[in-house]
Amino acid sequence: MIATSIKWTRHNLFGKPFDVVLSLLVIPGVLWLAYSITDWAFVSAKWGIIVQSLRVLMIGVFPADQAWRAWTASAIIGAILGAGLGCVFSFKPHHGLVLLLVPVLLLIVHGGLGNALPATGTVASTILGWALTSYVPLSRKVLPAAAFTGFIVIVAIMAPPGVGLWGGLLLSVLLTLVTSVLSLPIGILLAFGRQSRLSSLRIICTWYIEVMRSVPLILVVYWIWILMPVLAPQWGLADVARGMIGFTIFYSAYVAEYVRSGLQAVPRAQTEAARSLGMSEFDINRSIVLPQALRVVVAPLVGNVLDIFNSAPLVFIIGLTDFLRAGQMILANPQYGDRTFEVLSFLLATYFVIGSMITYAARKLEDHMATGTR
């Protein structure tokens, strides 16, 4: 064992003179970096600030005495996401253990139940939803309706203190969910429109997609924010809603392009076979072409969700306080001015963890889609 690893080291790290030099420089460098990071994280860093500002990071400036509303919403989102996962891959105890790390960590760092309760609730409802759809297949049938109801409840429960107060990680997640869910059907319609036999429709869809793909997201969001009150003053749409509309308008174009590449991957023979069975063009597109097209583009579509989540901080342009902005707000407090690294590290770690979870789910989704066909 040791002999082989010495051999491996000799061969790979000290094989050629250049490797030797590189290894002599890089290995100590990496070790030193690892040491300083660990030393900082466990000795010098004052993580207390994260615990103290956890509420602001999670739900922004939502009033503290109304926070239960936001925590309930988080729990509902957790249940919906968990139930969604359960349709794709079965819940296993080790998934639960990983998720439970979050509240456990909070308990250890904070030492009190108060701050850990919301996280515990969210994690618990995620696990419940996940286990439900994993082990009760019948529940998958009602999931779309349940998720829709859940979303209405979230809006109803969080609205009273004022929609303008939504913020933090909760806002980022809500924005990502709403944008992802809405941009999928719109993107699909655009993709079909771009291939339509009606040239006017085709030109409009092509233009829409090309324009959106050549301008920055932040500009689209800003424009929509300014334009909505002009175009539809009677609606009196809140900033949050306008932001979601801007994101959806922008990302639908990207979804359309992914879906279009999927549509092109479906062999012509499939359409011809369906036509010769007498199926209508609508039925062919809906039941034969689209399912096969989506199957091909699952990975880029989930990548798009990740993209949306990582772009959410741009809503600062219309005055919203997302997760990243909440972190900045904390640092703006002179009292906490010297905790930049702690806060930024926490943001980075959270983005990384959530991003990894989305990627992990995407891989499972791909496996799930692949079974049965071949």
Partner 1 sequence: MSAIVEMKSMNKFYGTHHVLKDIDLAVTRGEVMVILGASGSGKSTLIRCVNGLEMYQHGSLVVDGFEMPVEADRRLGGERELAQIRKGVGMVFQQFGLFPHKTVLDNITIAPMRVRKKTREEAEATAMKLLDRVGLRAHAHKYPGQLSGGQQQRVAIARSLAMEPHLMLFDEPTSALDPEMVGEVLDVMRELASSGMTMMVVTHEMGFAREVADRVVYIDQGSILEIGQPDEFFDNPKNDRARSFLARVLKH
> How many chain residues interact with partner 1 (CB under 8 A)?
20
274 contributes a contact to partner 1 by CB under 8 A: yes
- Tell me which stretch binds partner 1 (CB under 8 A): 2-10, 44-52, 65-73, 283-291: 283-291
Which residue among 39, 210, 272, 367 contacts partner 1 (CB under 8 A)?
A: 272
Question: CB of 279: closest distance to partner 1 in angstroms?
Answer: 6
Taking the least distance from each CB to partner 1, the nearer of 6 and 198 is 198
202 contributes a contact to partner 1 by CB under 8 A: no
269 contributes a contact to partner 1 by CB under 8 A: yes
Which residue among 1, 18, 236, 374 contacts partner 1 (CB under 8 A)?
A: 374
Taking the least distance from each CB to partner 1, the nearer of 210 and 272 is 272
Taking the least distance from each CB to partner 1, the nearer of 234 and 373 is 373
Q: How far apart are CA 301 and CA 262, in angstroms?
A: 11
- Tell me which stretch binds partner 1 (CB under 8 A): 12-20, 39-47, 227-235, 264-272: 264-272
Structure tokens at 148: 């829709």
Which residue among 275, 338, 355, 360 contacts partner 1 (CB under 8 A)?
A: 275
292 contributes a contact to partner 1 by CB under 8 A: yes
Which residue among 4, 276, 335, 337 contacts partner 1 (CB under 8 A)?
A: 276
- 3 state SS of 321: strand
200 contributes a contact to partner 1 by CB under 8 A: no
Taking the least distance from each CB to partner 1, the nearer of 275 and 363 is 275
Which residue among 273, 348, 349, 353 contacts partner 1 (CB under 8 A)?
A: 273
279 contributes a contact to partner 1 by CB under 8 A: yes
Which residue among 140, 202, 295, 364 contacts partner 1 (CB under 8 A)?
A: 295
Binding site for partner 1 (CB under 8 A): 269-270, 272-280, 283, 287-288, 291-292, 295, 372-374
